[in-house]
């Protein structure tokens, strides 16, 4: 039986470890040819190594799949452009882009340096934008040339971007920005046969194990379900990245353990229209009445 992604060419950024590695392996298992991008940096973005990406490529090839490593910095124009070129030159096409690369520099806002803000924004938000831009340019050209496109993009947001997370103002802002980018890309690129969705995963990775060490620990029993294994998130990513997800675009999914949730985001709630300008006192009174009728916001991570 052929896999769900047989014949597709898939790019996964940040695929040397954690969620990205799990995604790359899962796509390969379903028949995709995979470009494994990773700079091999430390948890805070320092250093670099070709080792993690090549190790995943070797693992895919050992299982009978096809993969190549890409070590370019996807938060630069040249790195992102070369990522798309690597897929097309090596495998002849690009069908799916999974934006996953990222790292953390956690601090409360009063202790957050400008460099820490910029670095996290760069890898997460710019590191989504540039690969998406260059992949979209490729798909647009393909569509204008008359070739049928069934392209997919899966972006990686976070619960921190949907609800906020204490000590992660830079990360939360970047992940919230990724949701906005996803919505715009889905609206703009649909005409070319491109679907764009986002996931907000929860899993045990280098980025989470320090913060959630107890709740994310692997079970002692080898036969027990490991709820926080990164591999639990990948099946949804593979489906979203396949032709089987036809018609699904501009959506955000939360994925954790065995649970998948469609996140519904901002929608208009209670409203009051005076028909003329409010005074500040009237506006305050109206706001309090509306708040009393509204849903309670989700709890910011770290405040429980």
- Residue-wise DSSP of 243-292: GGGTT--S-EEEEETTEEEEE-----------SSPPPHHHHHHHHHHHHH
Residue extents of the structural domains in the chain: 9-263
Q: Which two tokens stand for residue 104?
A: 């953390």
pLDDT value at residue 94: 98
Q: How far apart are CA 95 and CA 150, in angstroms?
A: 7
Give catalytic residues, as residue numbers.
158, 171, 175
Of all residues in the chain, what percent carry a pLDDT higher than 70? 91
pLDDT digits (tens, 9 = 90+) for 4-16: 999 999 999 999 9
pLDDT value at residue 221: 72
Q: What's the CATH superfamily of 9-263?
A: NAD(P)-binding Rossmann-like Domain (3.40.50.720)
pLDDT value at residue 40: 78
- Residue-wise DSSP of 68-80: EEE---TTSHHHH
pLDDT value at residue 51: 86
Burial of 211 (0-12, 13-18, 19+ CB in 10 A): middle
pLDDT value at residue 225: 83
pLDDT value at residue 205: 65
Q: Is the pLDDT of residue 234 over 90?
A: yes
Average pLDDT over residues 203-224: 62
Q: Using an 8 Å Cβ cutoff, are 102 and 119 in contact?
A: no
pLDDT band at 277 (very low <50, low <70, confident <90, very high): very high
Q: How far apart are CA 176 and CA 163, in angstroms?
A: 9
Starting at the edge strand found earlier in the chain, the sheet holding 96-98 runs 66-70, 33-37, 9-12, 96-98, 151-156, 194-202, 252-256, 259-263
pLDDT digits (tens, 9 = 90+) for 288-303: 999 999 999 889 988 8
Of all residues in the chain, what percent carry a pLDDT higher than 90? 83
Q: Using an 8 Å Cβ cutoff, are 151 and 10 in contact?
A: no
- Which parts of the chain fold into alpha helices (H)? 18-29, 51-62, 77-91, 114-121, 127-144, 159-163, 169-189, 206-209, 234-240, 280-293
Q: Is the pLDDT of residue 185 over 80?
A: yes
Higher pLDDT, 33 or 217: 33
Residue with tokens 């204490």: 166
pLDDT digits (tens, 9 = 90+) for 186-212: 999 999 999 999 999 998 865 555 554
Mean pLDDT of the chain: 92
pLDDT value at residue 147: 95
Residue with tokens 């009445």: 289
pLDDT digits (tens, 9 = 90+) for 35-58: 999 997 656 556 667 789 999 999
Buried b / exposed e across 222-254, counting CB within 10 Å, b at 16+? eeeebbbbbebbbbbbbbbbbbebeeebebbbb
pLDDT digits (tens, 9 = 90+) for 87-106: 999 999 999 999 999 988 98
Average pLDDT over residues 60-89: 97
């Amino acid at each position: 039986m052929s896999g769900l992604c047989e014949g597709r060419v898939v790019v996964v950024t940040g695929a040397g470890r954690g969620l990205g590695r799990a995604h790359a392996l899962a796509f390969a298992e379903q028949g995709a040819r995979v470009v494994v991008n990773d700079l091999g940096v430390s948890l805070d973005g320092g250093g670099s190594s070709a080792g993690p990406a090549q190790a995943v490529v070797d693992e895919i090839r050992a299982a009978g799949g096809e993969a190549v490593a890409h070590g370019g910095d996807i938060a630069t124009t040249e790195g992102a452009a070369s990522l798309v070129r690597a897929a097309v030159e090596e495998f002849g096409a690009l069908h799916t882009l999974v934006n996953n690369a990222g790292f953390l520099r956690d601090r409360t806002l009063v202790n957050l340096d400008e460099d820490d803000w910029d670095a996290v924004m760069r890898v997460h938000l710019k590191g989504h934008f540039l690969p998406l831009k260059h992949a979209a340019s490729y798909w647009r050209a393909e569509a204008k040339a008359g070739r049928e496109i069934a392209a997919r993009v899966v972006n990686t947001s976070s619960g921190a971007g949907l609800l906020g997370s204490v000590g992660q103002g830079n990360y939360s802002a970047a992940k919230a920005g990724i949701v906005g980018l996803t919505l715009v890309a889905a609206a703009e690129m649909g005409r070319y046969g491109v679907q764009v969705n986002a996931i907000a995963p929860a899993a045990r990775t280098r980025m989470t194990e320090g913060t959630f060490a107890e709740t994310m620990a692997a079970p002692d029993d080898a036969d027990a379900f490991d709820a926080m294994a990164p591999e639990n998130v990948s099946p949804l990513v593979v489906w979203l990245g396949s032709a089987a997800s036809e018609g699904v675009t501009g959506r955000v999914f939360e994925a954790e353990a065995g649970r998948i949730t469609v996140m519904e985001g901002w929608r208009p709630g209670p409203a009051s229209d005076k028909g003329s300008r409010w005074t500040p006192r009237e506006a305050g009174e109206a706001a309090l009445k509306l708040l009393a009728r509204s849903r309670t916001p989700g709890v910011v991570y770290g405040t429980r």
